[in-house]
Structure 1
Amino acid sequence: MSMDSNGLPPRNQGDQKSPSKMKQDSPQKKKRQSPFRKLMKLIMVLVILGVVAGGGYLYMIYNNVIKTGTDLPVAAENSAKVKPLTMLILGTDYREETNSYLTDVVMVASMNPATDSATLVSLPRDTLIQLNGYSQRKLNAYYPRFKVAEKESGITAEEEMRVMLSKYLDLDIDYVTVLNFQAFSDAVDALGGVDVNASQNMCYRDTADGTNINIKEGPQHLSGDEALDYVRYRKSNCDPKTPASDDFSRNQRQSEVLQSMMDQMKSLGGIVKIGKVVGAVSDNITTTVESDQVKNFISAYWDMSKDNVNFVPVTGTWNSPYVYINQNELTKAKEALAQELAGEHVFVDSTSSE
């Protein structure tokens, strides 16, 4: 055993306490944290959680988008985040039991990321199309005819509709998106339903395809199937009958439902609802938009206010079996679409007549 200088064995090191150690062992008063600092810490934790959760949901959304769009590349200068773009939106009555592709909804949208705004023009489904190079018929009859001719012509029905409506509206349409009834219903359900204010009672039953429309007048919250009934309603076969509805009223209801869907999207958890909507419609949608471009659209417009959306329904005169478009309204609609692309978001009063 070694000895120290005084001849005694060294002390056990565990028994020695340094001044610093002694300080640590002595009781200390805890520093009290101010309520403000506690609050700031809580806020930071919530922010971090929000960013992580939001990022996770965006990742989930983007994975769903991959299944929705095409796999073609998108040049940076053509990204929806920097370039104004146009889209033709068609809503078809396709269901397995009917196998029909009549387009009950025909809309054309111009979108501008610089103004974070859009103009949406809706055309009556029974519009008589008189256009060089095309046989005269109702607007909603062209898409199913183009579908039949696809194999022989080698041109998709979506591309045929894009070219035709581009000529009709004097506008170069970039993309086409086609949704069927199920996609519309599923999208509304994914958002938790929509709020509308029905101007009248609506009643129609068809045992052939299971249609059972029964909507009462007044404010109400509709599920996906009920919202579909609301925008589809044309006439009554019930007892007692309810008033019929023309193309113009249907277009107004379509705009009402779209605005309500935007309200639902902007409510708490909107980013979560986007993921649900994309996932819900992916199996019932056909689009020419590239997958990466769909992501660009989401990034550019997901938080757009409905106040920045200009709904321009075009009307006309009903003379069975056609709607003869009001040319003054059509001209205003064309101008509104073009102005949106140019960065001029101008609201249009489409109630005037020739």
Structure 2
Amino acid sequence: MSNPENGLPPRKSSGKKAAKTQKPKKKKSFLKSFMMFILFLLIVGAVAGGLYAYYISNQVEAVLDTGIDKEVPKTELAEAKPLTMLLLGTDYRPEHQTYLSDVVMVVTLNPNTKSATMVSLPRDTKVELDGYRSRKLNEYYPIFKSKEKTSGISAEAEMKTMISKYMNINIDYVSAINFQGFRDIVDELGGVNVTVDKNMCYRDSADGTDINLTAGDKHLNGDEALDFVRYRKSNCSPKTAASDDFDRNKRQNQVLHALIDQMQSFGGIAKLGNVIKAVDNNLTTDIESQQMKNMLTTYWNISKDNVKYRPVGGTWQSPYVYINEDELEEARQALKDEEAGTSTPSGTASAELDENP
């Protein structure tokens, strides 16, 4: 894994150049892609079953080394306090080398309640934030990435600072995973069972995309699962119905829960080592090795029923999604409630567009 440096000072609107920090080292491949929630899956649902604790600890010790050996104070470990993470899923894969963050999630984990709250923000959200030029949410990460050499600040650290300010909550860690990592994880688990909500057809010879799914209960491999969560519009004849950011968020949630089920099965546990390796090859994170191991052991038995998913709604007016400010504020409060241990089970309210793109 690779890791951005911690401790980025708050971004100010004065235009002054930020203090330089060491950029992350790349271990095997890149970061990015999209199912950042896949990292979340590993952290909160990947290792289920107390009978496998010894096996798990050995797998983690042998494989899950983030490359950050800094010691974490006991009071700062996942077992001792709630943690909030930014999860980025980018569209990078070998055949399509871009860095748009198609998934942006903020997750708060509470060790006392063994629960988590996930807030998912639409990728096309128009962000208006003091100190930052207004643009689509998914455009910031590649822009920050293009400036890493001159700024000396990793794109991941920049995103952590920006989203902390946007969500009004301190974010402890940031992680990014790419499309290839998502494919590999699903394939390592032998596929995933989902209900495809509509026929989906889209082709793009430029990057090799060939989405062709039919509605109904399906068992999808890695490529198909990626098609399922990515699908937006059709260019086929006849055309299939389009999807908006909120349809995609719902499908992400469905796949997340299906993968938690897969990981918590006997077969999933048996494949844990290969799943961790699949993540390791496609992940960038600033989580210390000690903290990563502590997260896994702390949340090994979390129930998917205790994972509260809160997509944020809004209105589509091309080319932006204009966020519903009331829902955004509710999501911010939900993260704070999770941190305080006062969160309620109801966190799966669906978000709707006022007008589809």
Contact 2:95 2:208 in 1 (8 A): no
Structure with larger RCO (C-alpha < 8 A, sep 6+): 2
Q: Which residue of 2 aligns with 1:91?
A: 89
Instruction: State whether structure 2 residue 186 is matched by structure 1 residue 188.
Output: yes
Specify whether residues 52 and 252 from structure 1 end up closer, same or farther in structure 2 by C-alpha distance, changes over 3 A only: closer
Aligned residues of 2:312 and 2:351 also touching (Cα < 8 A): no
Match of 2:242 in 1: 244
Once the two structures are superposed, what CA deviation does each residue of 1:124-167 show, in whole Å capped at 9, x if it has no partner?
00000000000000000000000011111111111110010001
Shift of 1:352: 7.6
Alpha-carbon displacement from aligned partner over 1:50-70 (angstroms, at most 9, x marks no partner): 99975245312321101x352
Query: Who is 1:142 aligned against?
Result: 140
Structure 2 letter corresponding to 1:144: P
Shift of 1:278: 1.0
CA distances 1:174-221 after superposition (whole Å, capped 9, x unpaired): 000100000111112222221111110001111111111111101111
Q: Deviations over 1:105-134 (max 9, x none)?
A: 110100001111000000000000000000
Contact 1:314 1:350 in 2 (8 A): no
Q: Which structure dedicates a bigger proportion of its chain to helix?
A: 1
Write the distance in 2 (CA, Å) between the matches of 1:75 and 1:140: 34
Q: Which residue is equivalent to 1:62?
A: 61
The alignment covers a number of residue pairs equal to 304
Q: Is residue 2:333 matched to residue 1:335?
A: yes
State the Cα deviation string for residues 301-351 of structure 1 (Å, max 9, x = none): 122110000000001000000000011110110011000000122223644
Secondary structure of 1:334 counterpart: helix
Which residue does the alignment assign to 2:226? Answer: 228
- Equivalent AA in structure 2 for residue 105 of structure 1: V
Report the counterpart of residue 27 of structure 2 in structure 1: none
Match of 1:321 in 2: 319
When the two chains are superposed, the root-mean-square deviation of aligned CA atoms in Å is 1.9
How far apart, CA to CA, are the structure 2 residues paired with 1:80 and 1:96?
Answer: 34
Distance 1:60 1:242, change over 3 A: same
Contact 2:202–2:209 at 8 Å: present in 1 too? Answer: yes
Q: Which amino acid aligns with 1:253?
A: R
The structure having more radius of gyration, on CA atoms, is 1
**Structure 1 portions without partners, runs of 5+:** 1-49
Q: 2:122 touches 2:245 (CA, 8 Å); kept in 1?
A: yes
Q: Equivalences for 1:296-307 in 2 at 5 Å?
A: 296-307=294-305
Distance 1:200 1:295, change over 3 A: same
Percent identity over paired residues: 56
Q: Output the TM-score relative to the length of structure 2.
A: 0.81
Q: In the aligned structure 1, how far is the partner of 2:115 from the partner of 2:272?
A: 18
Separation in 1 of the partners of 2:138 and 2:171?
Answer: 18
Partner SS state of residue 301, structure 2: coil
Counterpart for residue 267 of structure 1: 265
Residues 178 and 282 in structure 2, CA contact (< 8 A), matched pair in contact too: yes
- The one-letter amino acid paired with 1:159 is A
Deviations 1:236-267 (CA, angstroms, capped at 9, x unpaired): 11111101111110011111110111111122
Select 1:287's aligned residue among 285, 288, 297. Answer: 285
Give the corresponding residue for 2:254.
256
* 2:213 counterpart residue number: 215
Aligned counterparts, 1:81-120, within 5 A: 81-120=79-118
- CA separation of 1:82 and 1:204: change in aligned 2, threshold 3 A: same
* Corresponding letter in the other structure for 2:236: C
Q: One-letter code of the match for 2:310?
A: V
Q: Helix, strand or coil for the counterpart of 1:252?
A: helix
CA contact (8 A) 1:106 1:124 kept: yes
Whole-angstrom CA distance in 2 between matches of 1:117 and 1:261: 17
Match of 2:46 in 1: none
Which is further off, 186-195 or 233-242? 186-195
Q: 5+ residue gaps in structure 2?
A: 1-48
Cα 1:77/1:62, change in 2 over 3 Å: same
